[in-house]
């Protein structure tokens, strides 16, 4: 196991100077100072993101649309130059070619050279890693099978569906057998089977000691596979940590399930636990304060209800996500 | 080096498999075949007309096709985001740009060669001799194309295809007559003003760094039977390659600084 983190980001900042004259040196800054809009304006896409990913872990990078996830990833991948801050990939500074030789990347909504067939496509990427002709051929064949595209091996990529493009995109990210794999929305555009396949690939990579850093909007997937998550809102990381630590924060909410209960009792109990939901012959009540559960259950039993279960509620990732987003949006 | 080759091969494959490129080449060949009909209609001037019109079409169509593909080459990579999966690989941005140049140079070599062969076939049909001076003229047309490809890449490294196309075509149009600007002197010698003198000096200065594409137009020599020496061909080739190399260097500097948003 390597001594250094697989990926670090230290105070990464990206400011875009946009508008007609925004690209001219100094104009964006001047326009921001003078409050001029239209001809030049500044957008602070990333405002000091700091995080660290340990070797062998699966790290979920979360955040609402426009939070700065993709911009951060692009800076890590050398596609855009940071305004300030630094980072490392596999212990080497950003942009280092040796680190990039051990890196795999899948961008969001990928689009590839659609005149190529899968084998040609993957062999082309293999050449960029200086793989031998034999390595290129063998790895390309194996990866085409691994991502389930063996049946489309003779088709040019322009005849691929969105899900197939996503699969071949994952294959190109793995052509060099990378140690660190960065995936921007890898589940995007995939059906449930496709999402499961991607999750399986990510798990398999972890089992082989690889590090996976990925962003996703599909929280269910993140919850299923991540060791740690970082949440970015408005260009800043607002919470970061092991998934269990984020989710195990007591919510003080308890779910009580009751059976053999008539409408009058439901109405009366709703005063203490509003908006119960009916599931078959049972009713689910959410008691917001665990100190009131005893009294609630006693009332219910006294009214003739049958107690089915009492379950303390764990926070869902969605709740953590919404709370983080709201905290980040607060002035 | 293998990365430049890989990007070049991919660029070549992409262009060759592109229907627009095939249509442009077919159109250029059709125009060339039309010269056969025009030449045949002229009285005793068939071969002269064939040389004149044929070389004009080979040169002009090749440059226009090169500009069309050249200004779209980088733009397409960025717009369609294919570059997002290339740049994180262990490849320098300059290698990528040189690969694109090499690929297009390869495509244009095929295009110019095809047009040259079609032109030679027409000479054969007219029972005329396709001499070495014709080969030299076609070779120089290709050198001009390489210079224009480099310039198209430079402009497209920082601007849109439309603007790049406009600028590259402007360089081409002026470049064809820049030899006349190099010795330009405004006004009448006896009553020349200082302003005219200064403007003339500026124009002459600009003409010195502007690509001298007049070097690549040897059609008058070919038509009138004046020899084109191998020394001239060699120096024009060296000039073209050097000019393209300097322009590509500039393009690499610009491309290196660019953000792929």
Task: Delineate the domains of chain A, giving CATH numbers in brackets.
Answer: 50-247 (3.40.50.300), 254-312 (3.30.70)
Main-chain phi, psi angles of B229, to 5 degrees: -75, 155
A128 and B3 in contact by Cβ < 8 A?
yes
The pLDDT of residue A27 is 64
Residue A273's alpha-carbon distances to A129, A176, A289, A296, A312, in angstroms, are 61, 56, 10, 9, 14
pLDDT tens string B174-200: 998 888 887 777 777 777 787 878 888
Among A323-327, B6-10, B205-209, the least confident range: A323-327
Q: Which two tokens stand for residue A328?
A: 């980040």
- Beta strands in chain A, from DSSP E residues, in sequence order: 7-18, 41-53, 58-62, 84-89, 92-93, 103-106, 180-184, 211-215, 228-233, 236-242, 254-259, 277-279, 282-287, 306-312
pLDDT tens string A73-121: 999 999 999 999 999 999 999 989 999 999 999 998 888 888 899 999 9
Structural domain boundaries enclosing B144? 2-176+217-257
Residue A28 has pLDDT above 70, yes or no: no
Tell me if B241 is assigned to some domain: yes
Tell me if B46 is assigned to some domain: yes
**Collapsing DSSP states into helix, strand and coil, what is residue A64?**
coil
Strand partners, A8: A52, A88
Q: Which two tokens stand for residue A188?
A: 């995007």
What whole-number distance in Å separates Cα of residue B145 and Cα of residue B172? 10
What whole-number distance in Å separates Cα of residue A180 and Cα of residue A8? 12
Strand partners, A17: A42
Tell me if B205 is assigned to some domain: no
Tell me if B182 is assigned to some domain: no
Tell me if B162 is assigned to some domain: yes
**Residue numbers of A between 47 and 76 with CB closer than 8 Å to B:** 74
Residue A168, min C-alpha distance to chain B (Å): 12
| Residue count (chain A) | 331
pLDDT interval class at A37 (50, 70, 90)? low
B3 and A130 in contact by Cβ < 8 A?
yes
Tell me if B227 is assigned to some domain: yes
The top-scoring range by mean pLDDT among A62-66, A211-215, B117-121, B202-206 is: A211-215
* Complex-level ipTM: 0.80
Give the count of Cβ contacts less than 8 A between chain A and B: 79
B90 and A97 in contact by Cβ < 8 A?
yes
- Show Cβ contacts of residue A174 under 8 Å, excluding neighbours closer than 6 positions: A104, A143, A146, A181, A205
B5 and A127 in contact by Cβ < 8 A?
yes
Tell me if B202 is assigned to some domain: no
Strand partners, A9: A51, A87
A79 and B85 in contact by Cβ < 8 A?
no
Tell me if B194 is assigned to some domain: no
The residue-averaged pLDDT of B152-162 equals 91
What whole-number distance in Å separates Cα of residue B111 and Cα of residue B127? 24
What whole-number distance in Å separates Cα of residue A235 and Cα of residue A9? 13
> How many domains are contained in chain B?
1
């Amino acid at each position: 196991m390597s001594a250094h983190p697989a990926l670090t980001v230290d105070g990464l900042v990206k400011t875009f100077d946009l508008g007609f004259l925004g690209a001219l040196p100094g104009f964006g800054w001047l326009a921001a100072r003078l409050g001029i809009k239209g001809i030049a304006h500044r957008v602070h896409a990333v405002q000091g993101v700091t995080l660290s990913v340990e070797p062998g872990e699966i790290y979920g990078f979360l955040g609402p649309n426009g939070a700065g996830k993709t911009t951060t990833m692009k800076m890590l991948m050398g596609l855009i130059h940071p305004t300030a801050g630094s980072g490392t990939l596999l212990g080497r500074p950003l942009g280092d070619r040796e680190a990039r030789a051990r890196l795999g990347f899948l961008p969001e909504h990928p689009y590839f050279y659609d005149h190529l067939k899968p084998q040609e496509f993957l062999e082309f990427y293999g050449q960029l890693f200086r793989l031998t002709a034999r390595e290129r051929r063998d790895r390309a064949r194996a990866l085409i099978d691994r991502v389930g595209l063996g049946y489309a091996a003779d088709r040019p990529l322009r005849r691929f569906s969105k899900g197939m493009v996503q699969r071949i995109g994952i294959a190109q990210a793995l052509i060099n057998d990378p140690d660190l794999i960065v995936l921007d929305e890898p589940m995007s555009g995939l059906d449930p089977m496709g999402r499961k396949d991607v999750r399986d690939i990510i798990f398999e990579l972890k089992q082989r000691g690889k590090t996976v850093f990925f962003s996703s909007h599909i929280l269910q997937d993140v919850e299923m596979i991540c060791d740690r998550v970082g949440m970015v809102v408005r260009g800043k990381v607002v919470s970061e940590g092991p998934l269990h630590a984020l989710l195990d924060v007591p919510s003080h909410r308890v779910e009580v399930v009751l059976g053999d209960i008539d409408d009058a009792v439901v109405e009366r109990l709703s005063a203490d636990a509003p908006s119960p939901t009916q599931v078959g012959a049972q009713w689910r009540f959410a008691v917001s304060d665990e100190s009131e559960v005893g009294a609630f259950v006693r009332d219910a039993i006294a009214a003739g209800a049958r107690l089915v279960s009492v379950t303390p509620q764990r926070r869902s990732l969605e709740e953590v996500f919404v709370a983080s987003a709201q905290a980040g949006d607060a002035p | 080096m293998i990365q430049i080759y890989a990007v070049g091969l991919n660029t070549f494959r992409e262009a060759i498999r592109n229907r627009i490129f095939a249509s442009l080449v077919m159109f250029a060949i059709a125009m060339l075949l039309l010269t056969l009909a025009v030449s045949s209609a002229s009285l005793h001037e068939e071969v002269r007309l064939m040389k004149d019109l044929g070389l004009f079409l080979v040169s002009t169509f090749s440059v226009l096709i090169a500009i069309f593909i050249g200004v779209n080459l980088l733009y397409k990579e960025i717009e369609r985001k294919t570059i997002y999966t290339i740049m994180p690989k262990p490849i320098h941005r300059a290698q990528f740009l040189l690969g694109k140049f090499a690929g297009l140079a390869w495509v244009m070599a095929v295009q110019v060669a095809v047009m040259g062969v079609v032109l030679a076939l027409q000479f054969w049909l007219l029972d005329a001799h396709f001499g070495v001076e014709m080969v030299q003229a076609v070779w120089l047309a290709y050198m001009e194309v390489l210079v224009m490809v480099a310039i198209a890449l430079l402009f497209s490294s920082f601007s849109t295809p439309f603007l790049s196309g406009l600028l590259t075509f402007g360089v081409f149009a002026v470049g064809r007559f820049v030899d006349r600007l190099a010795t330009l002197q405004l006004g009448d010698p006896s009553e020349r003003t200082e302003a005219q003198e200064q403007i003339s000096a500026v124009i002459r200065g600009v003409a010195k760094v502007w690509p001298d594409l007049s070097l690549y137009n040897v059609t008058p020599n070919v038509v009138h039977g004046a020899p084109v020496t191998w020394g001239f061909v060699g120096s024009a080739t060296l000039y073209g390659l050097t000019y393209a190399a300097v322009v590509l260097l500039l393009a690499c500097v610009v491309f290196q600084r660019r953000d792929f948003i």
